[in-house]
A and B are shown apart, each in its own frame.
Chain A
């Protein structure tokens, strides 16, 4: 096991940030902690990177205990904290050189590992980090976290606030890194990114809701979800909520995701009900469950 977390709890003054969390990450795995802000993701990262003590429980990273062997862990992991944490007044190159030196290595030595990522920002290597765009900052931060060839990479919300294009590129980079044998623990509030992980833990309010691979996790969903569409989404939402058999109603892209209290829905009856409410162009069709549906159901 590359990362092993057993019954970790942590509270700050009044908040129980992490409540009895356990999970394991295998070597070479891309593992995702999926949950909104305030779910406790950052606290878990900080405990694993030896920055915080847990109140209860034990954890090991790359075989080292997070408390006893913190020095070994600090030599063997790469960490990219949630906000952009590089020196804004240093250039791209200076930042990378600096992190290489403090890890006792050079850019040349591990250039192979960061090459893919670094070539994209190399044209701007004389630019101060503070003047880079969001996507480029993120690439620089990843290069810096990788420069010493860590065994385990911790990425705390690397894609928050980043546009979809940069996000997609970032995940492609992670996949390639994984192929080089690096274990990656990544957290994200974007549910659509969960599907790109090998395994995921859904987390909310400091508790893990479920751990599984993304294909399996949706199978836990208890019932069929229906895509429903009509000419006025807002009226549709209100109408569905009033419907006596309705269990959950959530806007979902261009459709509304609807589940029923019964095992199977009566499409005709529902269509009539909606027409009665003054809605037109009604479409009702079963759809595939997404991780987001699962998350909402578990978090309910």
Chain B
């Protein structure tokens, strides 16, 4: 089951004028995999991610996400993926329930299906007391957990998470990763960026971007062996330092 590729990227490039933000990156992500997409600030992670989720047109190269081409079928891609970013997740001035209904509606779920999903979500996350509260009044950790669940509402094949745990407390951060494990176990592919290097260890495979290029890609274990260090943090530092 894990052998089918759900993301296939070949020489994907994005240029802004003279500046090459993403420089011919090539990789693939298998079904159900947790794929860590790391890189320094300005290394081109966000730009690459935007191309994969169909909101930015690549300058050249090929990429298929959930079997759809990023050049020609970006609308189909959007239907088959979930996306959650740190900056925008849920509407602060709507209640948890209203947010769920709204996002369910956007992805064309039926009223019945939304209702069903909501009950399940309330049960799993223990939202009984807060389902009618405004999202703005909830702690960050709750918001992030709920928005991850919302990104999974329409049962996407792949879910893209852009720094989902930034600033979240350590316990919630781990609860969040348990949710990621669970999604992956259910066959959803998880594509995640993070600045926490311990989180890189949770991933099945990790890619590290430096100045628009993917400089390393493997399982955390093999990367550590390759660079002869004990932690992903050191792998990262070694890579970035070497380039400078």
- The answer to whether A and B touch directly, with their CB atoms under 8 angstroms apart, is yes
Q: Report A's interface with B, CB cutoff 8 A.
A: 14, 35-39, 133-135, 160-166, 168, 189-192, 204, 233-234, 237, 250-254, 292, 295-296, 299-300
Complex contacts, A189 vs chain B, CB 8 Å = 166-169
Q: B105 at interface (Cβ–Cβ under 8 A)?
A: no
Q: Which chain B residue shows the least CB distance to A14?
A: B137
B195-A162 in contact (CB<8A): yes
Contact of A234 among B137, B184, B198 (CB under 8 A): B184
Write out, one digit per residue, whether chain B residues 182-204 have a CB within 8 A of any chain A CB (1) or not (0).
10110000000001111001100
Inter-chain CA distance A189–B196, complex, in Å, is 11
Complex contacts, A234 vs chain B, CB 8 Å = 178, 181-182, 184-185
Knowing that A134-B41, A254-B220 are A-B contacts, what are 12 other residue pairs whose CB atoms are under 8 Å apart, sorted by A's residue number?
A36-B168, A37-B167, A134-B42, A163-B195, A164-B240, A165-B40, A166-B41, A190-B196, A192-B197, A254-B221, A292-B170, A299-B170
Contact of B41 among A135, A190, A191, A237 (CB under 8 A): A135
Complex contacts, B174 vs chain A, CB 8 Å = 250-251, 296
Complex contacts, A251 vs chain B, CB 8 Å = 174, 177-178, 181, 202
Shortest CB–CB separation between residue A2 and chain B, in angstroms? 27
Shortest CB–CB separation between residue B142 and chain A, in angstroms? 10
Inter-chain CA distance A234–B43, complex, in Å, is 31
Complex contacts, A250 vs chain B, CB 8 Å = 171, 174
Q: B28 at interface (Cβ–Cβ under 8 A)?
A: no
Complex contacts, B39 vs chain A, CB 8 Å = 163
A300-B171 in contact (CB<8A): yes
B40-A237 in contact (CB<8A): no
Q: Which chain A residue shows the least CB distance to B233?
A: A164
Complex contacts, B137 vs chain A, CB 8 Å = 14
Complex contacts, A39 vs chain B, CB 8 Å = 169
Shortest CB–CB separation between residue A228 and chain B, in angstroms? 14
B42-A237 in contact (CB<8A): no
Contact of A233 among B43, B169, B181, B241 (CB under 8 A): B181
B237-A296 in contact (CB<8A): no
Complex contacts, A254 vs chain B, CB 8 Å = 201, 220-221
Q: Which chain A residue shows the least CB distance to B140?
A: A37
A36-B236 in contact (CB<8A): no
B140-A165 in contact (CB<8A): no
Complex contacts, B169 vs chain A, CB 8 Å = 35-37, 39, 189, 204, 299
Inter-chain CA distance A160–B168, complex, in Å, is 11
Given known A36-B170, A233-B202, A251-B174, contact A163–B181 (CB-CB < 8 A) = no
Q: B231 at interface (Cβ–Cβ under 8 A)?
A: yes
In the A-B complex, list the 6 residue pairs whose CB atoms are closest, starting with the nearest: A36-B169, A134-B41, A37-B167, A234-B181, A163-B40, A133-B42
Shortest CB–CB separation between residue B233 and chain A, in angstroms? 6
A237-B195 in contact (CB<8A): no
Q: Which chain A residue shows the least CB distance to B169?
A: A36
Q: B139 at interface (Cβ–Cβ under 8 A)?
A: yes
Q: List 23 A-B contacts (CB under 8 A).
A: A36-B141, A36-B168, A39-B169, A134-B42, A160-B166, A163-B41, A163-B43, A163-B236, A164-B197, A165-B40, A165-B237, A189-B167, A192-B198, A192-B233, A233-B181, A234-B178, A234-B182, A252-B198, A253-B201, A253-B232, A254-B201, A254-B220, A299-B171
Given known A165-B240, A234-B181, contact A296–B170 (CB-CB < 8 A) = yes
Complex contacts, A252 vs chain B, CB 8 Å = 198
Shortest CB–CB separation between residue A142 and chain B, in angstroms? 16
A160-B236 in contact (CB<8A): no
Write out, one digit per residue, whether chain B residues 13-57 have a CB within 8 A of any chain A CB (1) or not (0).
000000000000000000000000001111100000000000000
Inter-chain CA distance A176–B184, complex, in Å, is 44
Q: Which chain B residue shows the least CB distance to A165?
A: B240
B168-A37 in contact (CB<8A): yes
Complex contacts, B163 vs chain A, CB 8 Å = 161
Inter-chain CA distance A209–B151, complex, in Å, is 34
Inter-chain CA distance A192–B181, complex, in Å, is 23
Inter-chain CA distance A233–B180, complex, in Å, is 12
Given known A37-B140, A234-B185, A237-B178, contact A161–B195 (CB-CB < 8 A) = yes
Complex contacts, B232 vs chain A, CB 8 Å = 253
Shortest CB–CB separation between residue B89 and chain A, in angstroms? 13
Q: Which chain B residue shows the least CB distance to A39?
A: B169
Complex contacts, A300 vs chain B, CB 8 Å = 171
Shortest CB–CB separation between residue A209 and chain B, in angstroms? 11
Inter-chain CA distance A242–B201, complex, in Å, is 24
Inter-chain CA distance A135–B185, complex, in Å, is 36
Inter-chain CA distance A161–B182, complex, in Å, is 26
A164-B139 in contact (CB<8A): no
